Amino acid sequence: MSGARIVVIGTGYVGLTTGACLAALGHQVTCVDVDDVKVARLAAGRVDILEPGLEELVTRGLAARRLRFVVGSRDAVAGAGAVYLCVPTPMGAGGAADLRAVEAVIAEIADILPAGCAVVTKSTVPVGTAQRIRALLGRDDVPVVANPEFLREGTAVEDFMHPDRIVVGSDDESAARRIADLYRDLSAPSVVTDAASAELVKYAANCFLAMKLSYVNAIAELCDRLGADIVSVTEGMGYDRRIGRSFLKPGPGWGGSCLPKDTHALVQVAESVGFDFSLLTAAIVENIAQRDRIVAKIAGAVGGSLAGARIGVLGLAFKAGTNDLRDSPALSVTAMLAAHGAEVTAYDPAVREALPGMTVVDDPYQVAKDADAIVVLTEWAEFTKLDWGYTADLMQGDGVVDTRNLLEPRTIMDAGLSYVGLGRSRPARVALRS
C-alpha cells in the first residue's frame, strides 16, 4: 500500500504521532479531531504535546501536502484505504477499559466507509474489541485489524520509526498483511496473527513491564533494610540476558497514561473468563505501597512529621521528556504530602500550570527556599546540574530524598546535605553536615 490514503481519528499523543509518522513514510494522511481549535493549531503546525521530533514531522508533512487536519470523521473517510482509531480508552468503572469513544466513532462512520477499507485499532483495547467492532459495523466488506502501538512518551517518534516489532492481527489475513505492508520501509520484524492475539500482545507487554517495575521497587526496599546497594544489585541482574537492563530502576511507582489503566484492564479481562490473575494484582498493590514508602522516607527526612513541613519538589511529569501529568506518581506523592499537612512548592521544566495542593514555580531554586527537604520525583537531567551548595544555603533543613536515584550521593553530601535514595542505604550512611 505505497502512498495509501489513511485517516487517523484522534489527534492525541498516539494519534498525532501515528499520523505524522505515517505521512513521513510517504502515505497520504488525514488526521481528524472534534476540537476545532486544536485542529486549527495543528493545521498551522503548532504542536502542544512535548515530544522530541514530533513538531518537525508535522511541519514537514504539512509542507509536503501528505498530512492534513480536519474536523469531523464522515467526510474524511471517503476514499480511505485504512481508518486508524486513536481515540481515548480510559479506565472505566471497575478498571475495565471504557470503549465509548471507539463505539461512537464506529456509529458515526459505519455506513459511509468504502468497501475494503480496513478499520484499524491503534488505541489499547481489550481482547475481543475487533470482534465487537465487526458486530457494530454490521458489514462483511470492511475488515477490522488490531495494530497496537508500543510508543514511549519522550521517544515516541523514535519508537515508531525504529520499532522493536510491528504487530498486526485480524481474522482477515489479507487485511492484516495489507496493513503490515504500510510499514514495509521500517526495518523491524512483523508479527501477523489473529485479532485476539494482537490485542493481547499490548496488554501482556505493558503488564509485564509494570510487574518488573514493582519487583525492582520491592528489591530496592530490601536493599534499604539489608544494607545492600540497588545500583550494584540491578547491575548484576542486568547482565543476565534473560532479564536485561531496561525497567530495572526503582522509582516512586509507575504511572502515566498506559500502565495503570492497562494493568487494571487486564485484571478485568482475566476475571471475565474466570481467571484470578493474582500475580498482576500483586504488582498493582505493590505500586500503591511504593508511594506510601516514599512518603514515609520524606517524613523521616524532616524528623518524622510532615505537618507544617516545607517540602520542595523537583519534577511533576510522570517521566522526563514529557509534559504529561496523567497518573503521574509525582502528583500522587505530592497529594499525600499535602494531605499530611505539608506545604509543597514544586518545579518541573515542562509544567507551568497551577495545580491543586501545591505552589508551582518557574525556577528550581525557588523550591529550596526555606525548605525542610527537597524531593526529586521526575528524572529530569537538569536536576543533576543544580548548584547543590547554593541549594543547601537556601534551605532551612538538610534532607534530599531522591526517589529516582538520579543524583550523585557524594555531590549532595559534600554540599552538607543528607541524601536519601531508594535502595541506597550504604552511600547514605556517611552523610555530612557542616
Annotated binding site for NAD(+): 33, 38, 89, 124, 153, 261, 326
Kindly tell me the sign of the dihedral angle through the C-alpha atoms of 377, 383, 389, 390: negative
Where b means 16+ CB within 10 Å and e means fewer, 87-114 reads bbbebeeebbbebebbeebbeebeeebe
Distance, in Å, from the CA atom of 131 to the CA atom of 179, rounded to the nearest integer, reads: 18
Under a CB-based contact definition with an 8 Å cutoff, are residues 308 and 324 in contact? no
> Residue 50, SS3?
coil
Of 11, 85, 18, nearest to 49 (Cα)? 11
Catalytic residue list contains 117: no
Residues in binding site for substrate: 150-153, 202, 247-251, 255, 319
In this structure, the number of other CB atoms found within 10 A of the CB of residue 156 comes to: 26
CA 292 to chain centre: 21
Distance, in Å, from the CA atom of 434 to the CA atom of 422, rounded to the nearest integer, reads: 24
For residue 37, with 0-12 CB atoms within 10 Å meaning exposed, 13-18 middle and 19 or more buried, which class applies? exposed
Of 331, 299, 249, nearest to 399 (Cα)? 299
- H or E element that contains 7: strand 5-9
Phi-psi map region of 128: left, alpha, beta (phi>0 left; psi -120 to 50 alpha): left
Residues 36-39: contacts with CB within 8 Å, 24+ apart? 36/71, 38/11, 39/11, 39/69, 39/70, 39/71
Residues in binding site: 33, 38, 89, 124, 150-153, 202, 247-251, 255, 261, 319, 326
- Give the 3-state secondary structure percentages of the chain, helix then strand then coil, rounded to 5: 45, 15, 40
Residues with a catalytic annotation lie at 258
